Chains A and B, each alone.
Chain A
Amino acid sequence: DTEVTQTPKHLVMGMTNKKSLKCEQHMGHRAMYWYKQKAKKPPELMFVYSYEKLSINESVPSRFSPECPNSSLLNLHLHALQPEDSALYLCASSQETGQRLYGYTFGSGTRLTVV
């Protein structure tokens, strides 16, 4: 299995809702990432997990809450989002933190719309 699987593919939520994004990989990668991508822009790093521990939080608002229940799973819990949070949320994994020798494997993303 050489994929990163993200669910759901699309999500529409209201500003008072609570929802979660899920990411799964079975490649034995020990680093997992959340990125946010606006249209025609590069991915912006949000969070980095290394060996299931949060190692980087790029000053992301607390309405985004990451969780890494085990080495294969990464969640992003969403609460009280704003319309400007609408974006494509990408999960990626790599063998170790940083792209180093092999680069990332990206998931297809969750297209989030906040109404």
Chain B
Amino acid sequence: AQSVSQHNHHVILSEAASLELGCNYSYGGTVNLFWYVQYPGQHLQLLLKYFSGDPLVKGIKGFEAEFIKSKFSFNLRKPSVQWSDTAEYFCAVSDMRFGAGTRLTVKP
């Protein structure tokens, strides 16, 4: 079965800092990978997805993620975070289960 792990449980950054959230997956075959965001009090939204092709994927709100097959990783990045990026971020594979999530707090 496919699974993902997110090692950063809570990340605190100041505005304009760069962000990288880790996601590692366990499946050795072809995978589809996703990042979702859940803003406080809101529903889960798809940030970006990877299924083939260019391993650098660009999503909404200035986020991007890089698929590195040799490292089984799909880390989420943003060059400069804003206070409005404060949210819970979940990594997921094409199986129906999610990583534990990373809470991002951006201080103004």
A binding-site residues for B, Cβ under 8 Å:
33, 40-43, 45, 48, 56, 90, 92, 97-109
In the complex, the answer to whether A40 meets B43 with C-beta atoms within 8 Å is no
| Contact, CB under 8 Å: A99 / B92 | yes
Number of interface residues, chain B, beta carbon within 8 A:
23
Interface residues of B (CB under 8 A from A): 32, 34, 36, 42-46, 49, 51, 88, 90, 92-101, 103
For A108, the chain B residues whose CB sits under 8 A away are 42-43
B95 touches A98 (CB 8 A): yes
Query: With A98-B95, A109-B43 known to touch, is A42 a contact of B100 (CB < 8 Å)?
Result: yes
* A-side contacts of B94, CB under 8 Å: 98-100
Q: When A and B form their complex, which 10 residue pairs have the shortest distance between CB atoms, in order from nearest?
A: A42-B98, A106-B44, A108-B43, A103-B46, A106-B43, A99-B94, A42-B101, A101-B51, A103-B34, A45-B96
